[in-house]
Amino acid sequence: MAEVTVKQLADDVGASVDKIIQQLAEAGIQGRGASDVITDDEKQTLLKHLKQSHGEAFAEPRKITLKRKTTSKLRSAGSKTVNVEVRKKRTYVKRADITAEAEPEVEVPAEQAAPAEAEVAATSQPVETAESASPEVAPAESASATADSPAETAEAVSDTPESKAPAAEAEKQPAAQPSKAVTPEEADRAAKEAALAEAEEAKKSKHRRHKEEAGTREDKEDTPPVKKQKPKVAAAKPRRTEVEAEFTTAKTADAPRSLRAKAPRMRRKRRGGSSSVDPNIAKITRDVSIPDSLTVGELAQKMAVKSGEVIKKLMGMGVMANINQVIEQDVAQMVAEEMGHKVTLTREDAVETEMMDSIVYEGEVTTRAPVVSVMGHVDHGKTSLLDYIRRAKVAASESGGITQHIGAYLVQTDKGQISFLDTPGHAAFTAMRARGAKSTDIVILVVAADDGVMPQTKEAVQHAKSADMPIIVAVNKIDKEDADPERVKNELSALDVISEEWGGDVQFVNVSAHTGEGIDNLLDAILLQSELLELTAVKSGPARGVVIESRLDKGRGVVASVLVQNGTLRKGDIVLAGEQYGRVRAMLNEHGKTVDEAEPSTPVEILGLNETPEAGDEFVVVADERKAREVAAFRQEKVRSERLQRQQSTNLENMFQSMGKGETKILNMVVKTDVRGSLEAIISSLNDLGNEEVQVNVVGSGVGGISETDANLAVSTNSIVVGFNVRADGTARKILEREGVELRYYSIIYNIIDDVKAALTGMLAPAFREDILGIAEVRDTFKSPKFGQVAGCIVVEGTVYRSKPIRVLRDDVVIFEGELESLRRFKDDVAEVRSGTECGIGVRNYEVKIGDKIEVFDRVQIERTL
């Protein structure tokens, strides 16, 4: 350090020259004038003297000395950085004060806090005047080896830690008030130094924080994270000297670390909140909206937990499910509530219901034309019959009109109208039924009088009966020589289709599609039947009906044939058809003529839907196109999830689960075989199975491969399909696969019987036996903020499982039955606790007492046989 004059020293420290001279004299350096030079040694002597003169008893200045002592001790480390650390320390303390105030408002950003911090630093600390500080400090500082220049000396003296803090802040925070005692030059340097120190401190504290945070994670999870920061501050300073440590601790005991130092950490904490690593955050209660059904994965996503956790929970509830498995609303609700979330049940079809409810079908109820389907065995004359009727009754009435095939046509008779679905056969009929549509009112069963009842005749009867539809038998080819209508009556009676003449309720009409004989009688019979059915409709309301077929036409886009069943369909109407929607651009009748409206039982072709709907889809006219689009989208999603669900449920093993309780459970089956002999054997064996609780019902059977018709029948009747030495064709396989219907092939009859027997056994209401698994005795009870009442127990018998039901016994009397809220060993959640081990048990919805026994039991299903 350069030698300075007394005046310079006085100027530097801000004291009067006389005072310095007096102090020098007291220190034994006599006769110095203002311009005399003071050597380094003399400065040291002056410093020593000043130190001695402020002994232990000198209370007030000692406070200042304490700081200097700290400084000098740090300085003994021999680096300038040490000096900065002292300032930093003071600055730090000031921030702590601020933090103490700001503590409850952790959200305050660091940037806002900084000016406040500076202000408080500048004002709240008792200002140590240069006069009082300088005589003591100046020599000390100037004598030290670290401060070379007078400026630095002065800085060390006049820049009390208090004024340093704002200076440091001043660089970053222009708004912060600089200390009056600091010159701009000094402030600048101080700021640099402070910034440097801060950077270093930040580095250190970052390192410390890492350590602390690592430690925090291992801390007790019950401790709120904010509270944990207090001890951390104190613990963060162990490397300081003793005095400093004391000072810091004393200050921080009631004032935690600075807000700014804390802010990034808090931000990090908050960011960490979204991660599932932190157990505290993971237990956040969420509002979970649960629709009618959803997959395990979707539920996990709604709760922001891993799917594995949901699967584990489901397993605990006895439900084995994978991530893509669809679970019911109530199951999902239980899982979500178990996991501590708030559940809101949503009805996904709300939009649909609301829209459907808003459609008003009011008006005068009038009778409507019957809709007829024609079915029968191959080559018995279905097409010929339909063609004849169309030619004779439709074409004739429309002069010059070329009859178009639009899937249906309307016949005008003297007695009324009849709507014929002109896609003969079972496929169309069953396809529609499989989609749940009731498009037909009456079934015309065509049986060739020369051939009698054939396999597909039987099939047609099965279909009609399963759809609960009235049959009219058209005994065709009556013109043929070998025609034997009586034989047909006879054979059909075996199928429970009994002619009116024989006391039954089925009309038999002899017809010839070649000669036209009896056709009018047939139409009369249809109209008579329809009268009995009392078919009515409201003409005036918005239209509703069913899609008969649809296709994509190159020029016209989507063309859908629809049958209006109620109301009147008009051009320009907005139609929602199954999963599709659109505005009716044009409407054509079976003659290809444009029409503007179609009344009940009228088939028309409509143009304008967005995509092709399926045959059998119901259509409605709605008011709002946007809502129609919404509902269409919802239906698409619903169909997808229902299909998924069905695929999981329609099989032999778990079919009974989807059936109702209380009534006789029926296993529907469609059986196809290679030869008649085996078919009869199989059906009679199947009918012999079952009892009053469970039964087999063969809804469809026949000889030959499994066709599209069989598949659709199985879909509509929720059956399983059995092929005995026969296979399903491509279309049938596709339908069965898509709809999740089980298809089984066999070549040994006994295997069919065994499997079905097993399935029926599964359908028997399950019987249960109770096994006591373990007993725990309550030794102590206490309250846990997290789990409520917890019973400190010891397992006295067997093993206690968390996931099993329990009973509470008091004096060996059952006083409560319920389930466990929690099972813990020390701090860990455990799945089971063995005999002789202590554990904490939380009982849901019940307060146990010391001495109670908690009995854990299991319900074991007992196998039942037929």
Binding-site residue numbers for GTP are 376-383, 422-426, 476-479
Query: Which residues in 706-745 contact ligand GTP (CB under 6 A)?
Result: none
Chain position whose Cβ is nearest to ligand GTP = 381
Q: What's 786's DSSP letter?
A: T
Give whichever of 374 and 506 is closer to ligand GTP, judged by the CB atom: 374
Residue with tokens 């080559």: 379
State yes or no: residue 480 binds ligand GTP (CB under 6 A).
yes
Q: What's 398's DSSP letter?
A: S
Give whichever of 449 and 776 is closer to ligand GTP, judged by the CB atom: 449
Say how many C-beta atoms besides its own lie within 10 A of residue 88's C-beta.
22
State yes or no: residue 382 binds ligand GTP (CB under 6 A).
yes
Amino acid (one-letter) located at 573: D
Instruction: Decide: 452 and 491 in contact? Cβ < 8 Å.
Output: yes
Instruction: Decide: 477 and 483 in contact? Cβ < 8 Å.
Output: yes
**Closest distance between ligand GTP and the C-beta of residue 472, in Å?**
16
Instruction: Decide: 562 and 548 in contact? Cβ < 8 Å.
Output: yes
Residue with tokens 């007078």: 150
State yes or no: residue 452 binds ligand GTP (CB under 6 A).
no
State yes or no: residue 177 binds ligand GTP (CB under 6 A).
no
Query: Which residues in 407-426 contact ligand GTP (CB under 6 A)?
Result: 424-425
Determine the interface stretch with ligand GTP among 132-140, 374-382, 538-546, 760-768 (rule: CB under 6 A).
Answer: 374-382
Determine the interface stretch with ligand GTP among 135-143, 508-516, 547-555, 743-751 (rule: CB under 6 A).
Answer: 508-516
Cα–Cα distance for residue pair 122/663, rounded to 1 Å: 86
State yes or no: residue 702 binds ligand GTP (CB under 6 A).
no
State yes or no: residue 381 binds ligand GTP (CB under 6 A).
yes
State yes or no: residue 367 binds ligand GTP (CB under 6 A).
no
Overall size of the chain counted in residues = 866
Cα–Cα distance for residue pair 556/553, rounded to 1 Å: 5
**Closest distance between ligand GTP and the C-beta of residue 381, in Å?**
3
Q: How many residues line the site for ligand GTP (CB under 6 A)?
A: 17
Helix 242-254 × helix 225-235 angle, to 10°:
160
3-state SS class at 354: helix
Phi, psi of 800 (to 5 degrees): -100, 130
Q: Fill in the per-residue mask, 510 to 539: x = in contact with ligand GTP (CB under 6 A), - = not in contact.
A: --xxx-------------------------
Count of H helices and E strands in the chain? 28, 34
Give whichever of 415 and 480 is closer to ligand GTP, judged by the CB atom: 480
Cα–Cα distance for residue pair 469/459, rounded to 1 Å: 14
Determine the interface stretch with ligand GTP among 462-470, 473-481, 550-558, 746-754 (rule: CB under 6 A).
Answer: 473-481
State yes or no: residue 476 binds ligand GTP (CB under 6 A).
yes
Binding-site member from 354, 379, 653, 770 for ligand GTP (CB under 6 A):
379
State yes or no: residue 493 binds ligand GTP (CB under 6 A).
no
Give whichever of 146 and 512 is closer to ligand GTP, judged by the CB atom: 512
What is the helix, strand, coil percentage profile of the chain, to 5?
45, 25, 30
Question: Alpha-carbon Rg of the chain, whole angstroms?
Answer: 47
Q: What's 453's DSSP letter?
A: -
**Closest distance between ligand GTP and the C-beta of residue 710, in Å?**
16
CA proximity to 855, closest of 760, 785, 782, 770? 770
Going from the C-alpha of 112 to that of each of 24, 104, 271, 743, the distances in angstroms are: 48, 15, 21, 71
Q: Fill in the per-residue mask, 423 to 442: x = in contact with ligand GTP (CB under 6 A), - = not in contact.
A: -xx-----------------
Instruction: Decide: 807 and 816 in contact? Cβ < 8 Å.
Output: yes
**Closest distance between ligand GTP and the C-beta of residue 477, in Å?**
4
3-state SS class at 278: coil
**Closest distance between ligand GTP and the C-beta of residue 463, in Å?**
15
Query: Which residues in 562-581 contact ligand GTP (CB under 6 A)?
Result: none
Determine the interface stretch with ligand GTP among 67-75, 415-423, 474-482, 733-741 (rule: CB under 6 A).
Answer: 474-482
Binding-site member from 253, 378, 765, 831 for ligand GTP (CB under 6 A):
378
**Closest distance between ligand GTP and the C-beta of residue 345, in Å?**
50
Residues 6+ apart with CB under 8 A from 668: 697, 699, 714, 717, 718, 719, 720
Determine the interface stretch with ligand GTP among 91-99, 376-384, 527-535, 768-776 (rule: CB under 6 A).
Answer: 376-384
Determine the interface stretch with ligand GTP among 414-422, 471-479, 580-588, 621-629 (rule: CB under 6 A).
Answer: 471-479
3-state SS class at 440: coil
Instruction: Give the binding site for ligand GTP (CB under 6 A).
Output: 376, 378-384, 424-425, 476-477, 479-480, 512-514
